[in-house]
C-alpha cells in the first residue's frame, strides 16, 4: 500500500497534456543525506524529517511514467543510495524498461553497490555526480569533509565500469576559476555532460554567503564563453543555465503550463517547478498510488499557473529587477558532428 499524505483531500486526476515535454521524472526517494552542502536548494526541515518513500509508492511512480510515455526516472535525495531499498528501486524501474538516472554525491554506499554488481551498467542509464572543482579544500569546504574524494572515486569507478555519467557543478564564485580545469578533467575521464547550475538561493542556499553568488555580468560572461566552446569529443557537451535575461527579454518557457518537469518528494508531494520544492505551501499536486492528483485546487502552483502572465512576471524565481532567467533555460557548448 502506498503511503498517503496525512490530512490531504484528493481531487481531480492530473495528466500531462498531449505533446508534453516531460521526458524524465525526478523522485526524491529519501531525505537522508551524508552531506549538508551549503548551497542545497532543499531546506533543513527536509533533512531532519526522516522522510522515505516506500517501495510500493515508488512502483506507483514507475507505473505512472509508463502510462504517460515518460522514458526515464531519476532517483535523488538526500543521497538516494542511502535508501535501504535503493537497489530494489533501480531494479524495479529498469526491469519495466525505464531508463534509470541517479544523482549522487558519490557516497560510499553507492560505490559499494556498484562494486558488488547490484547496480551498474546493466540497470543504470546514466549517473550525475556532484563535483564542483578539482580543488579538494574548496569542495570539502562547500560540501563537507571527504566530499571531494567521494566524488572523484565515484567518477573513476563509473568510468571503469562503462556507465555514462555527468558532472553537476553548482557555480558559486569560488569554483568558477577552476571550471576550465574541471571540464578538461571531465573530458579525459569520459564524462558525457558537465552541467553548470546557478547557485539557487532557496532551501539551505538562503544562507549562502553573498560573496559566493556571481554577479549578473560575471555569469553572463561565463554563459557566452561556454556557448562558444567547441568540444574535442562528439559525446561530450557543457551545459549552463542562462541565469539572466537581456533587458526587456521575457522568459523563454515556464515548466508549469507546458508540464516539462515533475519532481516528487518522499511523502508524495509533487511540483512542476524545481524552484518551489523548498516551500510546502507551493505543492498543489501529490502522487498517490499510481495517480497524480490535484490536492489543493487554486493554491500553490495551481494558483501561480492561473495568475501567471505570458512573460512569467509573477514567477517567484524572478529577482526584483526582473532579470533572473528560469532554471530550465539553458545554453550548451558546440558538439562535434
Among the ranges given (114-118, 234-238, 254-258), the one the predictor scored with the smallest mean pLDDT? 254-258
Residue 18 in domain = no
- Distance separating alpha carbons of residues 240 and 170, to the nearest angstrom: 10
Rounded distance, CA 295 to CA 284, Å?
A: 5
All cell numbers assigned to 117: 554488481
> Among 120, 121, 141, which Cα is nearest to 132's?
141
Domain for residue 17, yes or no?
no
State yes or no: pLDDT of 6 exceeds 50: no
Mean pLDDT of the chain: 90
- Residue 4: pLDDT band (50, 70, 90) is very low
User: What torsion, rounded to 10 degrees, do the Cα atoms 35, 40, 41, 42 define?
Assistant: 20
Please give the model's pTM, rounded to 2 decimal places: 0.92
Residue with cell 567547441: 230
Residue with cell 557566452: 224
Q: What is the 3-state secondary structure (H, E, C) of the chain?
A: CCCCCCCCCCCCECCCCCCCCCCEEEEECECCCCCCCCCCCCCHHHHHCCCECCHHHHHHHHHHHHHCCCCEEEEECCCHHHCCCHHHHHHHHHHCCCEEEEEECCCHHHHHHHHCCCCCCCCCCEEEEECCCCCHHHHHHHHCCCHHHHHHHHHHHHHHHCCCEEEEEECCHHHHCCHHHHHHHHHHHCCCEEEEECCCCCHHHHHCCHHHCCCHHHHHHHHHHHHCCECCCCCCEEEEECCECCCCCCCCCCHHHHCCCCEECCCCEEECCHHHCCCHHHCCEEEECCEEEECCCCCHHHHHHHHCCCCCCCCCCCCCCCCECCCCCEEECECCC
Q: What CATH code is carried by the domain that includes residue 139?
A: 3.20.20.70
Q: What is the pLDDT of residue 103?
A: 98
User: For the chain, how many structural domains are there in total?
Assistant: 1
pLDDT at 337 over 60: no
The arithmetic mean of pLDDT across residues 184-204, rounded, is 93
Total residue length of the chain:
337
Q: Domain limits at 324?
A: 24-332
Q: Is the pLDDT of residue 3 over 50?
A: no
**203 inside domain:** yes
Tens digit of each residue's pLDDT (9 = 90 or more) over 115-153: 999 999 999 999 999 999 999 999 999 999 999 999 999
C-beta separation of 280 from 269 below 8 A: yes
Task: Flag whether 29 is in a domain.
Answer: yes
In the predicted model, what is the mean pLDDT of residues 109-115?
98
Identify the residue with better confidence: 335 or 211.
211
pLDDT tier for residue 316 given thresholds of 50, 70 and 90:
low
- Bridging pattern class, strands 126-130 and 165-170: parallel
Confidence of residue 192 (pLDDT cuts 50, 70, 90): very high
CB atoms within 10 A of CB 313: 11
Q: What is the pLDDT of residue 328?
A: 83
Q: Note the pLDDT tens digit of each residue in 279-312.
A: 899 999 999 999 999 999 988 888 888 876 554 5
- Of 15-19, 302-306, 313-317, 323-327, the range with the lowest mean pLDDT is 313-317
pLDDT at 70: 96
Whether 3 maps to a domain, the answer reads: no
Q: Is residue 105 part of a domain?
A: yes
Q: Is residue 133 part of a domain?
A: yes
pLDDT at position 305: 82
In a domain, 6, yes or no: no
Amino acid at each position: 500500500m502506498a503511503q498517503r499524505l496525512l490530512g490531504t483531500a484528493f481531487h481531480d486526476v492530473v495528466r500531462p497534456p498531449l505533446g508534453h515535454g516531460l521526458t524524465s521524472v525526478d523522485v526524491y526517494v529519501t531525505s537522508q543525506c551524508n552531506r549538508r552542502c551549503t548551497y542545497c536548494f532543499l531546506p533543513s526541515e527536509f533533512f531532519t524529517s526522516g522522510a522515505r518513500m516506500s517501495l510500493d509508492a515508488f512502483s506507483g511512480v514507475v507505473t505512472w511514467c509508463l502510462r504517460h510515455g515518460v522514458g526515464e526516472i531519476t532517483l535523488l535525495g538526500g543521497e538516494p543510495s542511502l535508501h535501504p531499498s535503493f537497489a530494489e528501486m533501480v531494479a524495479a524501474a529498469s526491469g519495466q524498461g525505464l531508463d534509470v538516472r541517479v544523482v549522487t554525491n558519490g557516497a560510499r554506499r553507492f560505490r559499494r553497490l556498484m562494486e558488488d554488481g547490484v547496480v551498474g551498467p546493466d540497470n543504470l542509464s546514466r549517473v550525475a555526480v556532484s563535483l564542483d572543482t578539482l580543488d579538494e579544500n574548496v569542495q570539502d569546504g562547500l560540501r563537507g569533509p571527504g566530499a571531494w574524494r567521494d566524488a572523484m572515486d565515484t567518477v573513476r569507478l563509473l568510468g571503469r565500469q562503462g556507465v555514462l555519467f555527468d558532472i553537476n557543478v553548482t557555480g558559486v564564485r569560488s569554483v568558477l576559476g577552476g571550471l576550465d580545469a574541471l571540464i578538461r578533467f571531465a573530458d579525459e575521464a569520459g564524462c558525457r555532460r558537465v552541467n553548470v547550475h546557478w547557485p539557487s538561493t532557496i532551501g539551505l542556499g538562503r544562507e549562502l554567503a553573498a560573496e559566493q553568488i556571481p554577479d549578473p555580468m560575471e555569469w553572463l560572461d561565463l554563459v557566452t564563453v561556454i556557448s562558444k566552446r567547441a568540444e574535442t569529443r562528439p559525446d561530450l557537451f557543457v551545459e549552463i543555465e542562462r541565469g539572466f535575461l537581456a533587458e526587456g527579454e521575457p522568459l523563454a518557457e515556464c515548466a508549469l503550463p507546458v508540464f516539462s518537469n515533475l519532481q516528487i518528494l518522499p511523502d508524495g508531494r509533487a511540483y512542476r517547478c524545481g524552484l518551489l520544492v523548498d516551500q510546502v505551501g507551493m505543492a498543489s499536486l501529490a502522487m498517490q498510488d499510481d495517480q497524480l492528483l490535484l490536492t489543493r485546487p487554486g493554491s500553490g502552483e495551481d494558483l501561480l499557473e492561473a495568475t501567471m502572465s505570458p512573460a512569467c512576471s509573477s514567477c517567484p524565481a524572478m529577482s526584483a529587477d526582473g532579470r533572473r532567467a528560469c532554471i530550465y533555460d539553458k545554453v550548451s557548448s558546440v558538439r562535434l558532428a
